[in-house]
Chain A
Amino acid sequence: MATAAAPMRSGSIPAHAPTATDLERLGTYPHVVVSWIDDSGYPTSVAVAFEADPAAATVRLARPAGMAIPTDRDVNVTASHIRPQPGIGYDERRYVQLWGRSDGTTFTPSRAWGWDETEVPFFEYSERSVPQSRRYLAALSAEKGRTIRPRLSPFWLALRTTRLPFLSATAVPVLLGIAVAASHGSFTWWTALLTLIGGSFAHLAINVTNDVFDTLSGADDANTTPTQFSGGSRVAVYDLVSIRGLSWLAIGLFAAAAAIGLLLVVATQSLTLLWIGVAGILVGVAYTAPPLKLVYRGLGEIAVAIGFGPIMLLGAYVVQTGELAWEPFVLSLVPGILIALILYVNEIPDRRSDAEAGKRTLPVRLAPETVRTGYLVGAIAAFAIIAGGVVLGLFPWPALVALVAVPIALRVHQGLKVHYDSPYTLMAVMGTNVNLNLVVGGLLLTAYVVAIVAGLATG
């Protein structure tokens, strides 16, 4: 018997040689179920009292009356536990399963397997088991003579595939760019609307492209602790959509974004806008696609800061005004940093699988304490830019209201201290961090609307 404690894993984790820990765990259950294949060829089972002896690596089994535990074949000893939750179902699922031989009363295990949801949460257990699902459905397709794939309704599939809820990251800089332009006296509603739509198509195209390359590189397959904020859409991992389908979707979304971009270039007669659009698509594609694969080289966070900062915000500004200016550029650093911080925090639960796939993100490269300090430095920089912009007269003074969001950033920083190593409890922190960008962006937008209204009122 092995003496080292083996982790209680299952799904893709194979059974292991039983350890003293397995027997100690078994000893915590009130009874075991002993199973074997009886002489009629059916499995049979009986619950019995038992006594586990980790030192001797054996289990003493009480003799059931009227049926003899066989000594000439493999016997299975299983203990399982749940905690019923009346009106809901149950929780605290765990079980231990041992195989071996019995001499009638003493059972000597030779293999062990099990699951404890406090050690391997259900969602991780499910993710570890995805390869088994794929194998089963492939075999089922062969058996039935038709392709059987997992499905989702078209609405949910579209939402999941494109990661639609993340569009808030595009809305904030685009709306801010339009607001700054309006405060400068330039606003055309239909070009503003097209900018928002074009920017959204570009963002969705980048999301889908990212999934294609993360699936091909194995990064998404290796990630067994995805959350609603991290780990990609996983539609290709789950075989809900093929890589070919995703690729065509990305091309279609990029084409739509490019078409709208070209329309805006024609409408504004601005070559600057053309270069900004080209830069945006190049940065978006190069984020995960070869040959640059910026995220694999530790440049992903900077690429996102540039893409969702200057490119989105300045692009929206140029659509309205036809020219570049310092105010929108400096302001663009705020959503650029905050959205890069969203990526930065969302990379924390992915860091092990990212490292396996060769993605050298900052959380992969840096120690946890440094990552936390990095978050604080980034958030302080964003707020310092707001304060500095107002002091220097670049931003309207109502923009200072965005500083009320400082406690949200501090809450995220505190949450990173507590939940850094727990992907599932970190989810709330990731959500708060997404809200930080929305709150700061919303308050800045409000500040500009106030400035525009004040400007109109004073003539």
Chain B
Amino acid sequence: MGWLPEPVERLLEVALVGELTVIGRNRRPVTHPLIPLYDGTHIYLHSSTLFSKKLEHIKADGRVSLALTDPVAMKGNPDRATIQGTARVIDDDPHSDWERLILQLWQAKEPSINDFLKARVALPLFFERAVIEVTPQRCLYWKDGLTDRAPEESVAPREEAA
């Protein structure tokens, strides 16, 4: 199972948006607000092929960070965290891989997706999707979101980091 501190897992379970930062061209950080999903071990994000620049960037360099910062998007929880990790893109079959891997987690967090799914014929490319699987490596946690105080740092156990 995962090693992330329990308060950070709580954030992951409720967060409707997190800021995923990837390494873009010329090693520039590029940030994408995305809905994070968590299965207790890995963090999953996902992206339509329509908005797939981030996927290209991750394929070029899989090092990413995910920031959880917005209390409004986390049911009022003021805590904040940044999770660094390595990401891999799962896109063998963009038509259906994501349904098998993350649809249940997605539906639980964003039930309106069910209505979109019924209208798949209207948005066919939106539902051609890749899954971004993030293996956490290091975590910074700010209780009450106070980043003017040093974060609590935790690192993946050796076998997780491997």
Residues of A within 8 A of B (CB): 11, 31, 33, 35-37, 40-48, 62-67, 73-76, 78, 80-85, 87-90, 93, 95, 97, 99, 123, 126, 129-130, 132-133, 136-137, 139-140, 144, 148, 150-152, 156, 159-160, 228, 238, 240
Residues of A within 8 A of B19 (CB): 33, 35, 45, 78, 80
Contact B65 A89 (CB under 8 A): no
Contact B21 A43 (CB under 8 A): yes
Contact A136 B73 (CB under 8 A): no
Contact A42 B28 (CB under 8 A): no
Which of these, A46, A99, A152, A228, contacts B67 with CB under 8 Å?
A: A46
Contact A33 B67 (CB under 8 A): yes
Residues of A within 8 A of B21 (CB): 35, 43-45, 76
Contact B126 A140 (CB under 8 A): no
B33: Cβ under 8 A from any A Cβ:
yes
What secondary structure prevails in chain A residues at the interface with B?
Answer: mixed
Contact B148 A43 (CB under 8 A): no
Contact B51 A82 (CB under 8 A): no
Contact B70 A80 (CB under 8 A): yes
Given A76-B21, A150-B125: A88 in contact with B112 (beta carbons within 8 A): yes
Contact B112 A89 (CB under 8 A): yes
Can you spell out 28 A-B residue pairs with CB atoms less than 8 angstroms apart? A31-B70, A35-B29, A35-B31, A35-B67, A40-B84, A42-B64, A45-B21, A47-B69, A47-B80, A65-B148, A66-B149, A67-B151, A78-B19, A80-B33, A82-B16, A82-B72, A84-B16, A85-B112, A89-B111, A90-B16, A95-B33, A126-B123, A133-B50, A133-B52, A133-B128, A137-B128, A150-B124, A228-B122
**CB-CB contacts below 8 Å: B1-46 with A:** 16-17, 19, 21-23, 26-31, 33
* B93 CB → nearest A CB, Å: 8
A97 to B24, CA, bound (A): 14
* B24 CB → nearest A CB, Å: 9
Contact A132 B51 (CB under 8 A): yes
* A141 CB → nearest B CB, Å: 11
1/0 per residue, CB under 8 A from A, across B46-87: the answer is 001111110110000001111101101101000010101000
Given A85-B112, A136-B55: A130 in contact with B50 (beta carbons within 8 A): yes
Contact A76 B29 (CB under 8 A): yes
Contact B111 A132 (CB under 8 A): no
Which of these, A45, A84, A90, A228, contacts B82 with CB under 8 Å?
A: A45
Residues of B within 8 A of A63 (CB): 148
A45 to B91, CA, bound (A): 27
* B101 CB → nearest A CB, Å: 17
Given A97-B31, A144-B92: A45 in contact with B72 (beta carbons within 8 A): no
Contact A33 B148 (CB under 8 A): no
Residues of B within 8 A of A78 (CB): 19, 31, 33
A87 to B75, CA, bound (A): 12
Which of chain B's residues has its CB closest to A93's CB? Answer: B33
Contact A137 B49 (CB under 8 A): yes
Which of chain B's residues has its CB closest to A41's CB? Answer: B63
A97 to B20, CA, bound (A): 12
B143: Cβ under 8 A from any A Cβ:
no
A373 to B56, CA, bound (A): 50
A160 to B121, CA, bound (A): 7
Contact A88 B33 (CB under 8 A): no
Contact A43 B23 (CB under 8 A): yes
**CB-CB contacts below 8 Å: B100-136 with A:** 109-113, 120-126, 128
Contact A82 B17 (CB under 8 A): yes
Contact A90 B73 (CB under 8 A): yes
B88: Cβ under 8 A from any A Cβ:
no
Contact A136 B56 (CB under 8 A): yes
Residues of B within 8 A of A40 (CB): 84
Contact A46 B82 (CB under 8 A): yes
Contact B29 A36 (CB under 8 A): yes
